[in-house]
Chains A and B, each alone.
Chain A
Amino acid sequence: DIQMTQSPSSLSASVGDRVTITCRASQNIAFHLNWYQQKPGIPPKLLISAASGLQSGVPSRFSGGGSGTDFTLTISSLQPEDFATFSCQQSHTSPWTFGQGTKVEL
């Protein structure tokens, strides 16, 4: 299985901060990387697909980058509604696997 490792596992930030989360794959997955946002009691929401493809309705302050084994999710200016857990997922090779999540806290 492809292992997905996120860093950090949690971070503290303030409204307006620029936040970057990293996801590393245990092998080359090209651009087959997706990002999700999850809040307590709410299912995950797909934010970005194929490394950098912003989903419809997702604010432009979210952006994704990277290819191969190293990827980033950046929030350019953190808003109150962005405090959540973010997870990456590789869609290169079955079984599809997720990172352990990064919790963004106030």
Chain B
Amino acid sequence: QVQLQESGPGLVKPSETLSLICTVSGVSISSGSYYWTWIRHHPGKGLEWIGYTHYSGSTNYNPSLKSRVTLSIDMSKNQFSLDLNFVTAADTATYYCARARLQNDFDRWGQGTLVTVSS
């Protein structure tokens, strides 16, 4: 059974870095059939795709966040991670890690973690 689980701080100060880890179980993150993805959900708004990483090292970022985002993958731990720099209150959201199939739909999701940006 494929499971994804986000972990990381629930509170980040403005201008600092939001860092989250997604631990994957039930499937190897080195499978070439999937992209490992971060998506966020602002209260009252639609879902926003942040970016994805692939075991090959390739990444694809949403241009709206590209200057502040780094995604990386740790195959030894079957984890992938998100770093979002210089956060503001606008980055307060529920962050999901998800598995994207090659057709770019998202078929498995973590439970989500609420991250609040506040001093």
Contact = CB atoms under 8 A, between A and B. Distances in A.
Interface residues of A, number: 24
Given A50-B103, A89-B106, A95 B46 contact: no
Contacts of B111: 42-43
B104 A91 contact: yes
Report whether over half of chain A's contact residues are helix, strand or loop; otherwise say mixed. loop
A61 to B, nearest CB: 20
Contacts, number: 56
A46 B109 CA distance: 9
Given A43-B96, A43-B112, A98 B49 contact: yes
Interface stretch (B15-23, B25-33, B57-65, B82-90): B57-65
Contacts of A89: 47, 105-106
A37 to B, nearest CB: 11
Contact of A98 (B46, B63, B64, B104): B46
Given A98-B47, A100-B46, 16 more contacts: A1-B64, A34-B106, A43-B98, A43-B110, A44-B106, A44-B109, A45-B109, A46-B106, A49-B107, A89-B106, A91-B103, A91-B104, A95-B62, A96-B104, A98-B46, A100-B45
